[in-house]
Structure 1
Amino acid sequence: MPTPSRLQPNKRQLRPAATHPTTLLDEIMSLVSDDLSAINRHIENQIESDVPLIREIGRYIVDAGGKRLRPITLLLAARSLGYQGTAHIDLGAVIEFIHTATLLHDDVVDKSDLRRGRKTTNAVWGNPASVLVGDFLYSRAFEMMVAVDRMSVMRIMAATTNRISEGEVLQLLNANSPNVSEADYLETITRKTAKLFESAAQIGALLANAAPATESALAEFGLNIGISFQIIDDALDYRSETEDIGKNTGDDLADGKVTLPLIHALRVCTPSDNSIIQTAISTGDRSQFDTIVAIIESTDSLAYTSRIAGEYAAQAQQALELLPPSDYRNALSKLAEFSVSRTY
């Protein structure tokens, strides 16, 4: 688990992205397109089961796609250090399986009905099937790790899945509580989201037999882009349209999730506006969403949120300085830019 000091952004700011986020991601993906295609094929093969419902839901999940940012992080980390083996394909699929399992479970807990622009698995097949297929993905991921036969990877991923679960429980405990602090929020997203990015980058370094300092630097990179990514993800709920982000805006408020835009707004808004936000958080009142968006905008809370995300992304880029110059290192730097500039 990161020490408290690693949860504090430095004041170095990421320069504004000169390239549109979609173009930026395309540039990153083009560098590892063959590896990504191999991972996608491996995912399709490994999601198969003798149980018809698992096959059906598995196909639905595969067809939904996704940005594959966590596997991309692993691929770029390994390639940036000259890795030439094949285990990165297996482990990229493992990372994506674990990520997808957490999404299936999240959607049940949050009662979500829309993700990536389509109905969630639980909305189509119900909560029990969604939870159980999530469990299948977790267990299949560990089965795949055993086949790779790297105890160091097993150790990292066992700790990672534990931390993710802790993050989900922390989020549940903090739900509908207007008293969540910025430190509480950062601790939750570090466990819930950033830990898997950290592990993806660290495993890439391990595969390349990197020196301990380089392995730590890549882990630091992954941790910080994971924090940046989640901060922006939470901001999008208050500044985007449903069709842009592929899920219902206002869901976080309805679920009583206290994210950074709300935390900042509560800190600086008028007493009357503070009361409106606190009541909406406590009751999960989505009907106040437009009013709260206006408060967030009037208090520059989205600008504050973007600035904090940018500081973490800048830390991520700084961690890359230990890596040898290469197109892959440049792509990792672009990934940090994308984590802040993305609109979906």
Structure 2
Amino acid sequence: MDILTEIKVPIQEEIKNFDESFREALLSDNELINKAVDHFLQKKGKNLRPILVLLAAKCATGSVNQKSFDSAIALELFHNATLLHDDVLDETNMRRGLETINSKFNSKLAVLLGDYFLSIALQKAVTTDNIYIVKSLSEFAATSVDGEIQQMFTAQSANFSEENYYKIIYKKTASLFETCFRVGALSVDSSEERIEKLEKFAYYLGLIFQIRDDIFDYFKSDEVGKPTGNDIREGKVTLPLIYALNTSVNGVGEKMLNIIREKDFTPENIQLLINFAVENQGIEYAEKKMEEFKVKALECLEEFTDTAEKESLKTVLNYTIQRNK
């Protein structure tokens, strides 16, 4: 049994229901929309966000309901909408080994399909008839856009710090994980105390997820789904490189900073920056921070009863650190 299958054991039936409901939610009488959706869903992700919503609901109260499914669908659609828009902004041609919508069709359709996903997400959020779920989803949407803009500004200003990095990845990624847990618990009327514990677990999980994702940028792998050095090419300086820049000696860091400031991202300079981060223990430092956050995340689950759902959340944590794509 692979690790993702193991994680889904307590919610096998619920995930089946989610998959059917998700596809159903996107059905349209517009054949071009259906054609684009079918292409986009050929290589679906791991369903991590719906898994987290459903596990949070079951961990909180032992059950899920229709509000849980609608919340999971809304969040997955929000996330996929951002992917569609990001691919246009970044002029990405491939995602998960499949042509992007902007590459196979065109950028206009990709943007409009993203808007379509957002519209259906809003419909599903309203269907929960829970103002707190709607509020959580809308706050997440604003926060994630804020994070993208802040990252863009940081890349332009070349003012890098570890503190700023964590602020950005919270807004871009950890806030999504927090929202998954919050709406999952809200959907089954969990207590606020339990919601806060689950949110804190999600916060650390989200930081770990993004740090691991950022580490991928420093190694060649056909499985990851993005070219090596892609973040650097876009001016995004992530934790391994930040650590190397802040701890290097003999003026080497200043030389690297000049490349970033001048946006002189030739293939040779990108490789130079990657080597600099690796040789100055940037990867080891990032891995150490993930382990620190893992310990803090596990502390958040201590007061929950030992159940299959709780065990799955621990497995999610381990999987997030160990994943290779």
TM class by smaller structure: over 0.9
Which consecutive unaligned segments of at least 5 residues does structure 2 have? none
Contact 2:294–2:317 (8 Å) recurs in 1: yes
Aligned to 2:33: 54
CA deviations over 1:277-324 (Å, ceiling 9, x no partner): 540464151412332222222111001011112222322221111322
- Classify 1:50/1:260 alpha carbon distance in 2 versus 1 (closer, same or farther; 3 Å): same
- Classify 1:84/1:140 alpha carbon distance in 2 versus 1 (closer, same or farther; 3 Å): closer
Q: How far apart, in 1, do the equivalents of 2:51 and 2:263 lie?
A: 39
Kindly state the Cα deviation for residue 86 of structure 1 after the two structures are TM-superposed: 2.9
Kindly state the Cα deviation for residue 167 of structure 1 after the two structures are TM-superposed: 0.9
Contact 2:175–2:203 (8 Å) recurs in 1: yes
CA deviations over 1:305-344 (Å, ceiling 9, x no partner): 1111222232222111132210100111111111111111
Aligned to 1:123: 103
Kindly state the Cα deviation for residue 234 of structure 1 after the two structures are TM-superposed: 0.7
**Which shifted more, 315-324 or 273-282?**
273-282
Aligned to 1:343: 324
Aligned to 1:16: none
Aligned to 1:145: 125
Q: How far apart, in 1, do the equivalents of 2:258 and 2:95 lie?
A: 27
5 Å-filtered alignment, 1:196-215, equals 196-215=176-195
Q: How far apart, in 2, do the equivalents of 1:284 and 1:157 lie?
A: 39
Secondary structure in structure 2 of the residue aligned to 1:164: helix
Q: How far apart, in 1, do the equivalents of 2:266 and 2:297 lie?
A: 35
CA deviations over 1:81-124 (Å, ceiling 9, x no partner): 21242322222111111110111111222222221122222222
Aligned to 2:173: 193
Q: How far apart, in 1, do the equivalents of 2:264 and 2:234 lie?
A: 6
CA deviations over 1:35-60 (Å, ceiling 9, x no partner): 11211111111112223332222111
Kindly state the Cα deviation for residue 182 of structure 1 after the two structures are TM-superposed: 1.1
Q: Which amino acid aligns with 2:255?
A: S
Q: How far apart, in 2, do the equivalents of 1:255 and 1:87 lie?
A: 39
Match of 2:16 among 37, 45, 51: 37
Match of 2:282 among 290, 295, 301: 301
Q: How far apart, in 2, do the equivalents of 1:332 and 1:259 lie?
A: 26
Match of 1:266 among 236, 245, 248: 245
Q: Which runs of 4+ in 1 moved over 6 A?
A: none
TM-score calculated relative to the size of structure 2: 0.93
Q: Which amino acid aligns with 2:292?
A: E
Kindly state the Cα deviation for residue 26 of structure 1 after the two structures are TM-superposed: 2.5
Aligned to 1:92: 72
Aligned to 1:69: 48
Kindly state the Cα deviation for residue 133 of structure 1 after the two structures are TM-superposed: 1.0
Contact 1:225–1:313 (8 Å) recurs in 2: yes
- Classify 1:275/1:332 alpha carbon distance in 2 versus 1 (closer, same or farther; 3 Å): same
Q: How far apart, in 2, do the equivalents of 1:113 and 1:237 lie?
A: 17
Aligned residue pairs total 322
Q: Which amino acid aligns with 1:319?
A: C
Q: How far apart, in 2, do the equivalents of 1:42 and 1:278 lie?
A: 51
Q: Which amino acid aligns with 1:325?
A: D
Aligned to 1:250: 229
Aligned to 1:17: none
Q: Which amino acid aligns with 2:56?
A: A
Indicate the percent of aligned positions where both proteins have the same amino acid: 29
Kindly state the Cα deviation for residue 269 of structure 1 after the two structures are TM-superposed: 2.5
Aligned to 2:292: 311
Aligned to 1:165: 145
Q: How far apart, in 1, do the equivalents of 2:256 and 2:140 lie?
A: 37
Q: Which amino acid aligns with 1:298?
A: E
- Classify 1:76/1:110 alpha carbon distance in 2 versus 1 (closer, same or farther; 3 Å): same
TM-score calculated relative to the size of structure 1: 0.88
Aligned to 2:263: 283
CA deviations over 1:197-238 (Å, ceiling 9, x no partner): 101111121123222111100111112111110111011111
Q: Which amino acid aligns with 1:335?
A: V
Q: In the alignment, is residue 328 of structure 1 matched against residue 286 of structure 2?
A: no
Secondary structure in structure 1 of the residue aligned to 2:302: helix
**Which shifted more, 142-151 or 283-292?**
283-292
**Which shifted more, 70-79 or 168-177?**
168-177
Which consecutive unaligned segments of at least 5 residues does structure 1 have? 1-21
